[in-house]
Amino acid sequence: MTTRRLTRIIPSIPVSDGAGVKLRRSIGQSQGLRLDPFLMLDEFASDNPDDYIAGFPPHPHRGFETVTYMLEGDFQHQDHLGNTGHLRSGGAQWMTAGRGIIHSEMPLQQSGRLHGFQFWINLPASEKMKPASYRDIEPEEIPERRIDGGRVRVIAGAFDCGDGQAIPGPIQGLSTAPLFLDLRLDAGARVSQRIEAGHNAFLYPYAGSLSVVAGGDAQPLPNRQAGVLSDGERVELEAGPDGCGVLLITARPLGEPVVQYGPFVMNTREEIEQALDDYRAGTLA
Ligand code: FE2
């Protein structure tokens, strides 16, 4: 059984997006720093409302999925389909843009701490033009369990307990088969997790730090850096001396051409031009 190693570290860099929200972007900060099918990973973390109050006023997407996960804070999603969703501490939102969605993502708080993540997962060519859909995942829908060495919350796929038992999360059955875990590890704890061979995988420590252990080596992964893993069937993590909060995210790669223009991600230039024409004509969504 092959244990995965760290093959690349992508430090997050400060960026501004939406109407001036301050973020840290790791995956997707440039085209060469994607990890098929992941297009982007943003972390937003601030106690200062000036960093987030402007939010993300109405904007379009086509061709992929956006996943938002909130550790702390309140956001409201509204879209052209008439959906209104309240994203609150510990909750998530899984939005499939498909052929098109126009939505806003605005903070519901005027002060206090906001801490969360958004990542983008590409859709296969066969699903890029399917109807948009959207799902709010309430904090109570996300299983949170004590495990040996810490706790786990399971948003997508299933946590493998290693004894034949699994803890499934609320998101299942997507063609990229994503696994999305939020692990909180005790100081110095060692945790091993099965990962589907052939799926791409990365880690993102958002509190504390950890090491990826393989073949007698312990490769350190600092806070707020995306750690891309080699192929294999398992990953072994060792939390640093202050413990660690880390996202483990994996999915089946698509192996298709990616042509991106801002919030539109398609397979060809022509399809991007079509998306722009549709948006200008008001027929994107
Ligand atoms: Fe958006």
Instruction: Name the band, by pLDDT with cuts 50, 70 and 90, for residue 127.
Output: very high
Burial of 82 (0-12, 13-18, 19+ CB in 10 A): exposed
Q: What is the pLDDT of residues 219-248, one digit of tens each?
A: 999 999 999 999 999 999 999 999 999 999
For residues 139-162, average pLDDT: 97
- Distance from the CA of 152 to the center of ligand 1, in angstroms? 27
What type of residue is 209? S
Q: What is the pLDDT of residues 105-123, one digit of tens each?
A: 999 988 999 999 999 999 9
- Distance from the CA of 61 to the center of ligand 1, in angstroms? 7
Contacts of 145 (CB under 8 A, 6+ apart): 151, 152, 154, 159, 167
What type of residue is 37? P
**Residue-level pLDDT at 234:** 97
Q: Is the pLDDT of residue 1 over 90?
A: no
Residue 119's DSSP bridge partners are: 41, 67
- Distance from the CA of 117 to the center of ligand 1, in angstroms? 12
- Distance from the CA of 119 to the center of ligand 1, in angstroms? 10
Phi-psi region of 33 (alpha: psi -120 to 50; beta: other; left: phi over 0): alpha
Q: Taking the model in full, what pTM does it have? A: 0.97
Q: Is the pLDDT of residue 102 over 90?
A: yes
Report the chain's mean pLDDT, rounded to a whole number: 96
Residue 208's DSSP bridge partners are: 244
- Distance from the CA of 89 to the center of ligand 1, in angstroms? 19
What type of residue is 147? I
- Distance from the CA of 144 to the center of ligand 1, in angstroms? 27
Q: Are 181 and 195 in contact (CB under 8 A)?
A: no
- Distance from the CA of 59 to the center of ligand 1, in angstroms? 6
- Distance from the CA of 46 to the center of ligand 1, in angstroms? 19
